[in-house]
């Protein structure tokens, strides 16, 4: 029977020692948010209440921007959290939890609008722009003329007053940052349609925001 060399014995001893240290090392502790999420997924109602308190304002804000109606935004905020309660155990951490909740909320709002039978996208109008809309352009980034120098409250009011289809695409693209191909998938329309609706939304917003500015100058 052969004997092990001193080098081999030392290497095996070190390997066993490292394995023992790895096995004994404590797992990295969860962050406070991750711990609350894990508890909520396990059915802890207090943990779910904490998640609700943390995210309800942003969910409501998103619903209000998309719907333009306070009562409906309140109802859909509650519906979003009911859906979250049913589906929270399916969250696997492939994205940030806030991003996952964000998409869940958008889906809840879109389902609500479809149940109402609202015509989100008018293909004829989108593909045949009115003369006052000017030449069509392809928008791939937020319109800087509508951001940065406009009073936030005035802009939010103007956005809420947009027709439903225009408002949805403006919110999804210029506020929430979705690309046209993503919006087309969400709303079951073409990319060109999404770009057309965004163009019209921006034209209407510029017109709405120009009126208060002109009134202020007149004073």
* Rounded to 5°, angle at Cα 76 from 160 and 117: 75
Q: How far, in Å, are 48, 142, 170, 191 from residue 127 at the CA level?
A: 45, 21, 17, 11
Residue 163 is predicted with a pLDDT of: 85
Residue 9 is predicted with a pLDDT of: 55
Residue 31 is predicted with a pLDDT of: 81
Q: Report which listed range, 31-35, 143-147, 148-152, 178-182, is most confident.
A: 178-182
Answer with the residue of higher pLDDT: 144 or 36. 36
Q: Which two tokens stand for residue 162?
A: 């947009």
Q: Which residue from 63, 69, 134, 74 is spatially nearest to 105, judged by alpha carbons?
A: 63
Instruction: Provide the whole-model pTM.
Output: 0.66
Q: Tell me the CATH architecture of domain 146-218.
A: Orthogonal Bundle (1.10)
Residue 143 contacts residue 168 (beta carbons within 8 Å): no
Residues contacting 11, CB < 8 A, separation 6+: none
**CATH 1.10.10.10 residue spans of the chain:** 146-218
| Fold classified for 32-115 | Rna Polymerase Sigma Factor; Chain: A (1.10.1740)
Residue 88 is predicted with a pLDDT of: 96
Distance (Å, rounded) from C-alpha 170 to C-alpha 54?
26
Distance (Å, rounded) from C-alpha 108 to C-alpha 157?
23
Identify the sign of the CA torsion 87, 45, 102, 162: positive
Residue 164 is predicted with a pLDDT of: 83
**CATH 1.10.1740.10 residue spans of the chain:** 32-115
pLDDT digits (tens, 9 = 90+) for 153-173: 777 888 888 888 888 899 999
Half-sphere exposure of 155 (CA within 13 A, CB side): 14
Residue 21 has pLDDT above 60, yes or no: no
* Of 137-141, 157-161, 184-188, the least confident: 137-141
């Amino acid at each position: 029977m052969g004997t092990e060399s001193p080098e081999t014995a030392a290497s095996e001893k070190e390997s066993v020692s490292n394995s023992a240290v790895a096995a004994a090392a404590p797992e990295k502790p969860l962050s406070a948010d991750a711990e609350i999420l894990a508890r909520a997924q396990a059915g802890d109602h207090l943990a779910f209440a904490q998640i609700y308190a943390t995210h309800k304002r942003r969910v409501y804000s998103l619903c209000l921007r998309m719907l333009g109606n306070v009562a409906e935004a309140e109802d859909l905020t509650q519906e979003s959290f009911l859906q979250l309660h049913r589906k929270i155990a399916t969250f696997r951490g492939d994205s940030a939890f806030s991003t996952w909740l964000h998409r869940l909320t958008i889906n809840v709002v879109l389902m609500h609008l479809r149940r109402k039978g609202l015509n989100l996208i008018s293909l004829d109008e989108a593909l045949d722009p009115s003369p006052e809309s000017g030449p069509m352009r392809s928008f791939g980034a937020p319109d800087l003329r509508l951001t940065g120098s406009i009073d936030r409250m005035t802009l939010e009011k103007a956005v809420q007053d947009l027709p439903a289809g225009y408002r949805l695409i403006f919110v999804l693209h210029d506020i929430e940052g979705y690309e046209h191909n993503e919006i087309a998938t969400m709303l079951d329309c073409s990319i060109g349609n999404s770009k057309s609706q965004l163009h019209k939304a921006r034209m209407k917003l510029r017109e709405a925001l120009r009126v208060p500015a002109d009134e202020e100058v007149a004073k």
